[in-house]
Chains A and B, each alone.
Chain A
Amino acid sequence: MSTLAPLVLLTPLAGFLINALFGRMLPRRVSGWVGAGSIGLSLVFALAILVQVIGGEHMDQTYFTWWSSGLFDVPFNLYVDPLSTLMILVITVVGFLIHVYSIGYMAADRGISRFFAYMNLFVFAMLLLVLSGNFIWLVVGWAGVGLCSYLLIGFWYDRPAAVLAARKAFVMNVIGDVGMVFAAFVIFLNLNVLDFGSVFSRVHQLPKGGTVINVICLLLLVGAVAKSAQLPLHTWLPDAMEGPTPVSALIHAATMVTAGVYLVARMHLLYDWAPQAATVVAVIGGVTALFAATIGMTQVDIKRVLAYSTMSQIGYMFLAVGIGAYAAGMFHFMTHAFFKALLFMAAGNVVHAFHDDQDIRHMGQLRRGLPVTFWTFLIGTLSISGFPLLAGFFSKDEIIRAALSAAGIEFVMGLAALLTAGLTAFYMFRLFIIAFGWEWLRDDPRHLHEAPPIQTIPIIILAAGAALGGYFPVANFLEPVFGHAVDIGTGAFIALALLTLVAAGVGFALAYLVYARRPELAVAWRARLGPIATLVEHKYYIDELYDRVIVRPGFALARFLNNVFEPRVIDGTVNGVADFFLLESREWRLIQTGRVRSYGLWTLGGAIGIVGLIAWTLGYLPFRSG
């Protein structure tokens, strides 16, 4: 295993180097297959690791020391346990499928080698993030995925909107990176170590629920919230949809945005020790889930609806890890990776068929034109809505069940999650009905073209995952990490499952009624809700709020510094000093006459002066010193 883990990491890096250094010389197809192949190879190694981990092996191996200075020692160590194995498997499986899909999706783009270079670099950084065994390399991976996210959102750098979105994502993510770095500082300050193994074993030296551990967990949470687009640092994710669709599928749905969930799960010993911080995690998750779901109900851009859906689903995961149901959170992470990557890639096919138009109101009735996309998208929609026996049903139920079995504020969050389950079914079927439609067109005058097999086969495989992923025994697999989950008994199990089913059923029925049966109702309800609907349609004006409170004052300060402070104070000081010496020198330089004899006189005078001074201080002159 100690050789397999670096191999998992290094193959995407090799793919990145090949595409980054020689991409221009490679034929377009080769570029794509190098990119996808390197992830495929990585997947093979990850499967080999899985076999060994199932066999009960764990690993925390140090490969080399990056640097050491006194107490401070930064090893490069990889940490392989069921949790990181689950992560690398999902990353490589979903990553591989999305890379294959990208070969078709990006075939016509002139920057294809650049695209695959960035994608491979992303997978490398993400794998580093989940395999790292200490905080320094965790931060390296953490910042690395942020960088790749920035590069890929702004991939079409000639679109101003894409560049702005990339910048926004980067700034928001850096806020999180700073939180992570400070968390590492506080940990080192109090525990003198930075590798996970030692931190986990020493965390009990800190007082339980004390200030220190809560500060650590809250600082980590800042990083997690920024990366996972949770309230209040969520505004970058919808804008990130400016990037190519495979990027949205891989980075902004399946893997990177769930890094926050992984972080909390990885640090579960810390969060167990800081119940207050864990409650904050749960509340942020529950509120975000509900908040994002309501926005998702009003958006008309197919990718933005999916982006808000992602936020909402990650909110579920945060809720799960916040209340201590870590295995449930990771389970939902896995199923979500399947169905959300599927939904995004299917949406990409639709967007391609409509020539980059993303407005769902311009679509509809796609069953004949895009049959594979239609059916797979339906499977994804059913899965995320919690249709019985599909993947989303199991994982989401587990979270709601765990939350409703808790007490206090966590229970309230459980109710929010239950409500969100209904909203999820509503907005997903609203999206499906408007964008894909029920009706079957015998002759489609639009001549829509289904995507080539290289794009549909990965989607079909993911659809299988979205349908059957719920049967993977994830909780058992993760038991060595999180311990045994609480068993609530069969009766409660069925009752709660029915509860969520009813919620989802109501959501579906409403969507069907409003958007398929009686569209006039949608207009009427919209008018009746008035200001509330406007508020939600404008995403609660959070972007506008940040614009007023942070961006504009920031620009005003920058303008003040540029127009007033810089010319007056900084330039004033520098120029003032220069002017002073210029003025003085105008008089002093008169003594430089160019005449040797005048210099001679000055020299003689100076020499006499110095000798006189020495003589005076030594007392050889009649008028004595002192």
Chain B
Amino acid sequence: MQIPAYSFLLLSGGIFTLGAIGFLIRRNPLVIFMCIELMLNAVNLAFAAISRYLNSLDGVVFAFLVITVAAAEVVVGIAIIVQVYRAGRDMDVDELDLMKQ
């Protein structure tokens, strides 16, 4: 049975919304990171689905690119989080506001 393309997009949109809401309401940096990953993977899903739908590889290539960038970004992000933790700060993004003004 053929699963229609829009159902993938619906799933992708749902996951993205979940990630975005999580990003906005959670305060633990690790959870926020996971939410970012959720959003990125939602987009990857949409890329893959539409790529398949259009019989083109462009979308898949994009998905790979996103995965690569996400991996690099996570490395940097986790490193920052570890440093913040070592510095003895609370693991709360609302308290990490040194960049203000």
A residues in contact (CB < 8 Å) with B? 589, 592-597, 600-601, 604
Contact in complex: B100, A594 (CB < 8 Å): yes
A597→B20 contact, CB < 8 A: no
Q: Are B97 and A597 in contact (CB under 8 A)?
A: no
Residue interface mask B15-51, A partner, CB < 8 A = 1: 0000010011101000010000000000000000000
**Chain B residues with CB below 8 A from A594, complex form:** 96-101
B5 within 8 A of A: no
B27 / chain A contacts, CB cutoff of 8 Å: 597
Chain A CB within 8 A of B65 CB: no
Q: In the assembled complex, which residues on chain A have CB atoms less than 8 Å from the CB atom of B93? A: 595-597
Question: Bound state CA distance, A601 and B32, in angstroms?
Answer: 13
Please name the 8 residue pairs, one residue from A and one from B, whose CB atoms are nearest each other, closest first. A594-B100, A594-B97, A596-B93, A594-B99, A600-B23, A597-B24, A600-B24, A595-B94
> Chain A residues with Cβ under 8 A from B94's Cβ?
595-597
CB distance from B43 to the nearest CB of A (A): 11
Task: Give the shortest distance, in Å, between A57 (CB) and chain B (any CB).
Answer: 82
Shortest distance from the beta carbon of A67 to any chain B beta carbon, whole Å: 54
CB distance from B30 to the nearest CB of A (A): 13
Chain B: number of interface residues, binned into ranges: 10 to 19
CA distance A593 to B27 in the complex (A): 15
Asked if residues A597 and B100 are in contact (CB atoms below 8 Å), the reply is: no
23 A-B interface contacts by CB (under 8 A): A589-B101, A592-B99, A592-B100, A592-B101, A593-B97, A593-B100, A594-B96, A594-B97, A594-B98, A594-B100, A594-B101, A595-B93, A595-B97, A596-B32, A596-B93, A596-B94, A597-B25, A597-B93, A597-B94, A600-B23, A600-B24, A601-B24, A604-B20
Q: State A597–B27 Cα separation when bound (angstroms).
A: 8
**Beyond A596-B93, A596-B96, A597-B94, is A604–B24 a contact (Cβ under 8 Å)?**
yes
Task: Taking A595-B93, A600-B24 as given, write out 13 further A-B residue pairs in contact, using a Cβ cutoff of 8 Å, ordered by the A residue number.
Answer: A589-B101, A592-B99, A594-B96, A594-B97, A594-B100, A595-B94, A595-B97, A596-B93, A596-B96, A597-B23, A597-B94, A600-B23, A601-B24
Give Cα A325–Cα B74 distance, bound, in whole angstroms.
Answer: 95
Residues of B within 8 A of A592 (CB): 99-101
Contact partners of A604 in chain B: CB under 8 A = 20, 24
Shortest Cβ distance from B93 into A: residue: A596
Rounded to whole angstroms, the CA-CA distance of A592 and B100 in the bound complex is 6
Interchain nearest-CB distance for B12 vs A (Å): 14
Report the Cα distance A600→B25, complex, angstroms: 10
Q: Which residues of B contact A601 (CB under 8 A)?
A: 24
CA distance in complex: A593, B100 (Å): 5
- Binary per-residue interface labels of chain B (64-101) against chain A in the complex, 1 for a CB within 8 Å, 0 otherwise: 00000000000000000000000000000110111111
Q: Determine how close the nearest CB of chain A comes to the CB of B75; give it in whole angstroms.
A: 18
Find the B residue at minimum CB distance from A607: B20
Minimum CB–CB distance for B6 against chain A, Å: 14
A604 to B35, CA, bound (A): 13
User: What total of A-B pairs shows CB separation below 8 Å?
Assistant: 30
CA A313 to CA B85, docked complex, whole Å? 94
Query: CA separation between A208 and B71, bound complex, in Å?
Result: 87
The CA-CA distance from A595 to B100 in the complex, in Å, is 8
* Contacts from B to A (Cβ < 8 Å): 20, 23-25, 27, 32, 93-94, 96-101
Chain A residues near B23: list those with CB within 8 A: 597, 600
Cα of A545 to Cα of B20 in the assembled complex, Å:
84
A49 to B54, CA, bound (A): 93
Interchain CA distance A604-B23 in the complex, whole Å? 10
Name B20's closest neighbour in chain A (CB-CB): A604
* Measured CA separation A589–B23 after assembly (Å): 23
**B86: min CB distance to chain A, Å:** 19
Chain B proximity of A28: nearest CB distance (Å): 67
A354 vs chain B, min Cβ distance (A): 76
Q: Which residues of B contact A593 (CB under 8 A)?
A: 97, 100
* Chain B positions within 8 Å of A595 at CB level: 93-94, 97
In the assembly, what is the distance between CA of A600 and CA of B22, in Å?
Answer: 11
Per the bound structure, the CA–CA distance linking A594 and B94 in Å amounts to: 8
User: How distant is the Cα of A593 from the Cα of B93 in the complex, in angstroms?
Assistant: 12
Q: Which residue of A lies closest to B32 (CB)?
A: A596
Q: Give Cα distance in the complex from A600 to B96, angstroms.
A: 14
- C-alpha spacing A589/B99, complex, angstroms: 12
| Contact residues in A for B100 (Cβ distance below 8 Å) | 592-594
Minimum CB–CB distance from B63 to chain A (whole Å) comes to: 19
Residues of B within 8 A of A597 (CB): 23-25, 27, 93-94
Closest to B29 in A: A596
Docked pose: A594 CA to B97 CA in angstroms? 4
Residues of chain B contacted by A600 (CB below 8 angstroms): 23-24
- Report the bound CA distance from A18 to B96 in whole Å: 69
CB distance from B89 to the nearest CB of A (A): 13
Chain A residues whose CB sits within 8 angstroms of the CB of B97 once the complex forms: 593-595
Give Cα A589–Cα B27 distance, bound, in whole angstroms.
23
Task: Report how far A600 CA is from B19 CA in the complex, Å.
Answer: 12
Determine the chain A residues whose CB is within 8 A of the CB of B25 once the complex forms. 597
Q: Which residue of B lies closest to A593 (CB)?
A: B100
Chain B residues closer than 8 Å to A596, beta-carbon distance: 32, 93-94, 96
A381 to B97, CA, bound (A): 93
Closest A residue by C-beta to B35: A600
In the complex, chain B residues whose CB is within 8 Å of the CB of A589: 101
Task: Kindly provide the distance from the CB of B62 to the nearest chain A CB, expressed in whole angstroms.
Answer: 17
In the complex, how many angstroms separate the beta carbon of A607 from the nearest chain B beta carbon?
A: 9
How near does chain A come to B97, taking the closest CB pair, in angstroms? 3
CB distance from B90 to the nearest CB of A (A): 14
| Residue with the highest number of chain B CB atoms closer than 10 Å, among A589, A593, A597, A601 | A597
Question: A281 to B80, alpha carbons, bound, how many Å?
Answer: 85
Q: B91: shortest Cβ distance to chain A, in Å?
A: 13
Could you tell me the distance in whole angstroms from the C-beta of A497 to the nearest C-beta in chain B? Answer: 96
Q: In the bound complex, how far is the Cα of B94 from the Cα of A600, in angstroms?
A: 12
- Complex-state Cα separation, A589 to B94, whole angstroms: 18
* Closest A residue to B97 using CB positions: A594
CA distance A601 to B100 in the complex (A): 16
Measured CB to CB, the closest approach of chain B to A244, in angstroms, equals 66
Assembled-state Cα–Cα distance A592/B94 (Å): 13
Q: Which residues does chain A contribute within 8 Å of B98, judged by CB atoms? A: 594
CB distance from A611 to the nearest CB of B (A): 12
CB-based nearest A residue for B98: A594
CA distance A464 to B98 in the complex (A): 92
In the assembly, what is the distance between CA of A263 and CA of B28, in Å? 89
Closest partner residue, chain A, to B21 (CB atom):
A604
* Alpha-carbon distance A568/B25, docked complex (angstroms): 53
Measured between C-beta atoms, what is the minimum distance from A488 to chain B in Å?
A: 95
